Amino acid sequence: MNKPHSLYIGLMSGTSLDGIDAVLARIDSDGAVSLLGAVSSPFTPELRKALLGLQSPGPNELHREKQAGNALAIEYAQAVQDLLTQKNLNATDISAIGAHGQTIRHQADLSDHLAYTHQTLNPALLAELTGIDVIADFRSRDLAAGGHGAPLVPAFHAQQFSADENIAVLNLGGIANLTLLPKNGEVKGFDCGPGNMLMDAWIADQQGHTFDENGTWALQGAVNQSLLTRMLADRFFSKAPPKSTGRDDFHLEWLQKQIGLDNINAEDVQATLLHLTVNSSLQALECHAPHTQTLIVCGGGARNTALMNVYKASSQAIFKKPLEIVTSDALGVDPQLVEGLAFAWLAWAHKEKRPANLPAVTGARGPRILGACYPA
Ligand SMILES: Nc1ncnc2c1ncn2[C@@H]1O[C@H](COP(=O)(O)OP(=O)(O)OP(=O)(O)O)[C@@H](O)[C@H]1O
Ligand SMILES: CC(=O)N[C@H]1[C@@H]2OC[C@@H](O2)[C@@H](O)[C@@H]1O[C@H](C)C(=O)O
């Protein structure tokens, strides 16, 4: 406990668009991270609607984007205040905030110097409202160096979860991404496809719920094999890493196109989407890290009991070797706070002037210091 350390706050609002996870982390001088506190707050319905409305091009979007960036800064600042109050701390106790912002476009596949990614946020307003240094825009520098700008969490997963065996970490957020941590060898990672996003979109479209709690609706349906095969034929799944994806590629219209004119019960579609998440990620694991012994699952999908049961039941058929599947709870980390902790750590890396991208993951030309600082 006596090692030199600093306090950082990580703010994450991911592709699920469910809300904000704010974490307070103690980061030691060697980069070791421990969780001290957390606050999760759902977006107000107005902000969620505004952010959803920005996911595809539309009228007056520059104005709407700037307004949403201001509104997000205000909600982020409230989450920071709640965290400080909870822990009885002052703004001056915090070295910096790492703020992800809300991804509204991710066009990493465009050719060099044309590619871009955009995370909506007004970081200057966040610094003004909190009185704390804000580090934001973590992805642009990696893209400028020819990388995908995503996923960025593999470096943090390596710091947090490496062990004396072959480990993989699967984040089941809106999008799913894998980090491969071999006992000996280089850390790898890539986005492997939809996590919860299509299941969320389908239940919202059909039943008006934001997500399928514990997969209960999916459990009422049966897998439609021909739909599953069609969806798995999307070229994203067979593409070699580095690769990243988002709402730009996987959305309700993509799903409707896959269903086509087939008359499939709505709950069967939901069951099939659940299996799409499982099959695509386990197939990617089998292809890129067949020696994996333990799979650590994090992200909100780790809370979906039906999804976790299908992972366990399918691993023998798809992965073909024994695979221990645990959620990050087993390692003492709440699955929904892993990304928030990663952004606290990324802010620390920026302040310490340490490169935090992994070129073997993103495809960047080299290691780069990530983020831009908005001083308090
Ligand atoms: N009990 C539960 N049952 C089913 N699904 C759940 C449950 N709890 C959380 N989820 C799913 O987790 C999602 C939120 O996950 P998470 O916060 O990890 O995503 P994110 O950070 O927004 O996404 P990304 O990692 O892609 O940026 C919800 O939208 C929901 O689909
Ligand atoms: C562009 C973007 O926001 N990508 C997210 C998204 O959500 C999961 C996956 O796709 C991952 O690539 C990334 O987020 C995490 C935090 C990352 O960069 O590692």
The mean per-residue pLDDT over the stretch 127-152 comes to 98
Ligand 2: residues with CB < 6 A are 14-15, 103, 106, 117, 150-153, 171, 173-175, 177, 191, 244, 246, 339
Question: How many Å apart are CA 333 and CA 299, to the nearest integer?
Answer: 11
Pocket test for ligand 1, best of 245, 304, 327 (most atoms within 8 A of CB): 304
pLDDT at 3: 78
pLDDT at 285: 98
Q: Please state the atom number of ligand 1 nearest to the C-alpha of residue 196.
A: 31
Q: What is the edge-to-edge ordering of all strands in the sheet holding 96-99?
A: 33-42, 19-28, 5-12, 96-99, 134-136, 372-374
Ligand 1: residues with CB < 6 A are 12, 14-16, 18, 171, 173-175, 195-196, 200, 211-215, 299-301, 303-304, 336, 339
* Residue carrying structure tokens 């001290």: 36
Q: Domains (ranges, CATH) in the chain? A: 5-150+337-374 (3.30.420.40), 153-331 (3.30.420.40)
Q: Is 21 annotated as a binding residue?
A: yes
Q: What are the pLDDT digits (tens) for 246-260?
A: 999 999 999 999 999
Q: Please state the atom number of ligand 1 nearest to the C-alpha of residue 336.
A: 18
Question: How many Å apart are CA 365 and CA 126, to the nearest integer?
Answer: 31
pLDDT at 1: 54
Q: What are the pLDDT digits (tens) for 266-294?
A: 999 999 999 999 999 999 999 999 999 99
pLDDT at 161: 95
| DSSP structure string for 285-325 | HHHH-TT--EEEEESGGGG-HHHHHHHHHHHHHHH-S--EE
Q: H or E stretch including 181?
A: strand 175-181
Q: What are the pLDDT digits (tens) for 74-118?
A: 999 999 999 999 999 999 999 999 999 999 999 999 987 899 999
Q: Please state the atom number of ligand 1 nearest to the C-alpha of residue 299.
A: 18
Q: Is 19 annotated as a binding residue?
A: yes
What's the chain's average pLDDT?
97
Q: What are the pLDDT digits (tens) for 40-70?
A: 999 999 999 999 999 999 999 999 999 999 9
pLDDT(2) > 80: no
- Asked if the bond preceding 151 is cis, omega within 30° of 0, the reply is yes
* Buried-exposed string 54-78: b where 16+ CB fall within 10 A, e elsewhere: bbeeeeeeeebbebbbebbbebbbb
pLDDT at 76: 98
Which residue lies with its CA nearest to atom 9 of ligand 2?
A: 175
pLDDT(36) > 80: yes
Q: How far does the centroid of ligand 1 lie from the alpha carbon of residue 185, in Å?
A: 31
Which residue lies with its CA nearest to atom 20 of ligand 1?
A: 14
pLDDT band at 4 (very low <50, low <70, confident <90, very high): confident
ipTM: 0.98
The mean per-residue pLDDT over the stretch 177-186 comes to 96
pLDDT(371) > 60: yes
**Could you tell me what percent of the chain has a pLDDT over 90?**
98
In degrees and rounded to multiples of 5, residue 33 shows phi and psi of: -115, 135
pLDDT at 112: 78
Q: How far does the centroid of ligand 2 lie from the alpha carbon of residue 88, in Å?
A: 31
pLDDT(7) > 70: yes
Q: Nearest ligand to the C-alpha of residue 362?
A: 2
Angstrom CA distances, 361 to 106, 109, 220, 244, 367, stand at 16, 15, 38, 10, 11
Q: What are the pLDDT digits (tens) for 310-342?
A: 999 999 999 999 999 999 999 999 999 999 999
pLDDT(301) > 80: yes
Q: How far does the centroid of ligand 2 lie from the alpha carbon of residue 293, in Å?
A: 24
Q: Nearest ligand to the C-alpha of residue 153?
A: 2
The amino acid at residue 279 is N
